[in-house]
Structure 1
Amino acid sequence: MSASPEQLWSIGELAERAAVTVKTVRFYSDQGLLPEAGRSGGGHRRYGPEALERLRFIRSLRGLDLPLPEVRRVLDDEDAAGRVLEDAVAGRLRELGSELRALRWREAALRLVHDCPADERADRLRLLGAVDSPPSTAALARFWRGWLPARMPARATAAFLEVAVPQPPAEPDPAQVLAFARLHAMTSRPCTGGSRPQPEVHRVAGPGGSAELYASLVEAFELAGPQVRRERTPRPGEALDAYVAAYARAYGTRDTRDFRSRLTGLLAAEPRLDRYWELTAVVLTPPGGRPEPTPGSADAWLRAALARDTEEAA
């Protein structure tokens, strides 16, 4: 039903009723978002109550920071307006979450630079400048993909990366920002002497056996986690038995006293990624909290338990 002449407003009157500027009304009208009820004798636009209702709705949507294309989708699809609006709001929430994470990261990074000694500022700026905001874990994942056995099954690789690559905290403190930036620098640095060598003690399993080896090691690390968290002295037990059994299966043998002695020597001769795991522990530990166990700290605990077990048996 068309509006009576008494219910028609000029662009200025509509703007005043909606508490917006004339420029705003003209913009939405030019975009085809506001229905015109007609034109005056002089060709000026006239708007009715439907335009006022539509304009207020647009203001509400824009107040939620929805972009104009999303506003148009909501207005154009009247039959599915509820679903379209829900999808648009959900999408904006995801975007806003990413923006907030970036802002929190930048705030912690600024505090890190602001509070550090002057002679360390340039080095910290260099580290931070190489990291995106919010930070990406792509460099860390590439590092481990180069370290893991070639042709290792994708599912096993993904499972290992899940425990080996720390996710940046949503609300980091400066220490966590610095630790992650150092991890990024460490894993982005070009390797010397060819590709990263996988530890010889792991290579024996081959591509197929590596999946089972790493899955079994992760189980052993989970068993050792509570011991590490409570800062218990490394000692034989269920976690160590699972740890040795994982290697024994990879070597096609059984968990015997001779194998434990041999494994102790093999593990002692391998290079460690201690610095990686130290930084990872900082990234994962909330401000004021106790360090969470990492695969590295669990492996170190289990190696110490194995060395103690071997020594006592001797």
Structure 2
Amino acid sequence: MFSSYDGLCGIGELAERAGVSVKTVRFYSDSGLLPEASRSVGGHRRYGPDSLERLRMIRSLRTMDLPVSAVRRILDEEESAGRVGGALEDAVAGQLRELGSQLRALRWREAALRSVQECPAAERPDRLRLIGAVSAPPDTAPLARFWRGWLPPRMPARAVTAFLEVAVVQPPEDPAPAQVLAFARLYAMVSRPCGKDEPTQPHAHRAAGARASAVLYAGLAEAYDLAATEMRQDRAPGPGEALDGFVNAYASARNTADTPGFRRALARRLAADPRIDRYWELTAELVSAPASRPEPTPGSAHDWLVAALESRSGTAVTA
């Protein structure tokens, strides 16, 4: 309770009791967060007994960097329901998401700066231009566009989405400088204009029709997973479930049988296909912890399977 005869107080006394500036109280009043009880004869603002507690609540909410609109919803809920509930929960959850995004961007920028700092002085301008082209946190949309141009045009949307989830690498939350550089190089690779005669899709993947495309890529995804398990156990390319699934994906897409002749022909077609090894090399740098064994990627799994196919078909497959 204020000591004045009418139980109200002026803006100066309210600001002093709340530990804020008069300018702050005036801002909250003008924003509609802190209603005035009345105005004096001289036009000065007067505030009621509940204003001090309300002002302290506003200050606490604003200290957490909640926007004025969120503060208003929280106060309105408290006034109507007599308690603070869902509005505060939603505001805090949203702020945590925003803060997480900001922290991720800061970690990315720090690693980017270290990447520039740690390279030889003569290379820093080029390194800066390369890394500076990537937003923080980085956007993977160019990678998705690259793969949409690589995949069969009639491939069903669901199959495309499933493949993109595997092929489009997500940047690490707390990257090392080398990983920032790897993503910047990957970004530059997929963003450059394609040459007039540059193939956009492997010949061996050109299945006829939407169904065949979906069958092919679903089968390849399963084969890559099986091959990755073999690779983590340091097993050499050879026969087994992974290779059988790999060949069956191509055979099923072409509605033909898995025969020794088909395997030899498939090995020759795969050897003639355009390759994007650099994409998968950079991807491996992104998904693997620094100084650790590279994690298998769809690209390295494909190479393992092609080597296994070569060893069983007797066909020399070269990159």
Q: TM-score, normalised by structure 1?
A: 0.93
Aligned partner (choices 157, 172, 191) of residue 175 of structure 2: 172
Instruction: Tell me whether 259-268 or 239-248 shows the greater mean CA deviation.
Output: 259-268
- Match for 1:181: what amino acid? A
1:134 — aligned with what? Answer: 137
Instruction: Tell me whether 104-113 or 267-276 shows the greater mean CA deviation.
Output: 267-276
Matched, 1:240 2:243: yes
Unaligned runs of 5+ in 2: none
Deviation at 1:39, TM superposition (A): 3.4
Structure 2 distance, partners of 1:289, 1:82, is 47
Structure 2 distance, partners of 1:75, 1:306, is 68
Say whether the 8 Å CA contact 1:229–1:291 is kept in structure 2.
no
1:306 counterpart SS class: helix
Deviation at 1:232, TM superposition (A): 1.9
1:37 — aligned with what? Answer: 37
Aligned partner (choices 106, 110, 127) of residue 109 of structure 2: 106
Structure 2 distance, partners of 1:73, 1:112, is 44
Deviation at 1:123, TM superposition (A): 1.5
Say whether the 8 Å CA contact 1:223–1:238 is kept in structure 2.
yes
1:20 — aligned with what? Answer: 20
Structure 1 distance, partners of 2:8, 2:148, is 68
Structure 2 distance, partners of 1:167, 1:206, is 30
Structure 2 distance, partners of 1:196, 1:124, is 29
1:89 — aligned with what? Answer: 92
Q: Once superposed, what is the RMSD of the aligned Cα atoms?
A: 2.0
1:265 — aligned with what? Answer: 268
2:192 — aligned with what? Answer: 189
Matched, 1:276 2:279: yes
Counterpart mapping for 1:65-84 below 5 A: 65-77=65-77, 78-79=79-80, 81-84=84-87
% same residue:
67
2:59 counterpart SS class: helix
Distance verdict in 2 for CA 1:76–1:309, change over 3 Å = same
Say whether the 8 Å CA contact 1:2–1:37 is kept in structure 2.
no
Say whether the 8 Å CA contact 1:146–1:195 is kept in structure 2.
no
Question: 1:146-177: CA deviations, max 9, x gaps?
Answer: 11111211000000000000001111111110
Distance verdict in 2 for CA 1:35–1:256, change over 3 Å = same
Matched, 1:9 2:9: yes
1:46 counterpart SS class: strand
2:257 — aligned with what? Answer: 254
Say whether the 8 Å CA contact 1:70–1:88 is kept in structure 2.
yes
Structure 2 distance, partners of 1:22, 1:175, is 50
1:230 — aligned with what? Answer: 233
Say whether the 8 Å CA contact 1:173–1:287 is kept in structure 2.
yes
1:279 counterpart SS class: helix
Structure 2 distance, partners of 1:44, 1:62, is 25
Matched, 1:146 2:149: yes
Deviation at 1:2, TM superposition (A): 11
Structure 1 distance, partners of 2:44, 2:198, is 73
Deviation at 1:183, TM superposition (A): 0.6
Provide the aligned length of Structure 1 versus Structure 2: 312
Structure 2 distance, partners of 1:172, 1:56, is 40
- Match for 1:150: what amino acid? P
Counterpart mapping for 1:299-314 below 5 A: 299-311=302-314
1:298 — aligned with what? Answer: 301
- Match for 1:18: what amino acid? A
1:215 — aligned with what? Answer: 218
Distance verdict in 2 for CA 1:294–1:37, change over 3 Å = same
Question: 1:10-51: CA deviations, max 9, x gaps?
Answer: 211111111111111111112221132333443322223310
Deviation at 1:288, TM superposition (A): 3.9
Say whether the 8 Å CA contact 1:3–1:48 is kept in structure 2.
no
Unaligned runs of 5+ in 1: none
- Match for 1:304: what amino acid? A
Question: 1:230-267: CA deviations, max 9, x gaps?
Answer: 33211111111111111111222111111111111111
Structure 2 distance, partners of 1:5, 1:82, is 36
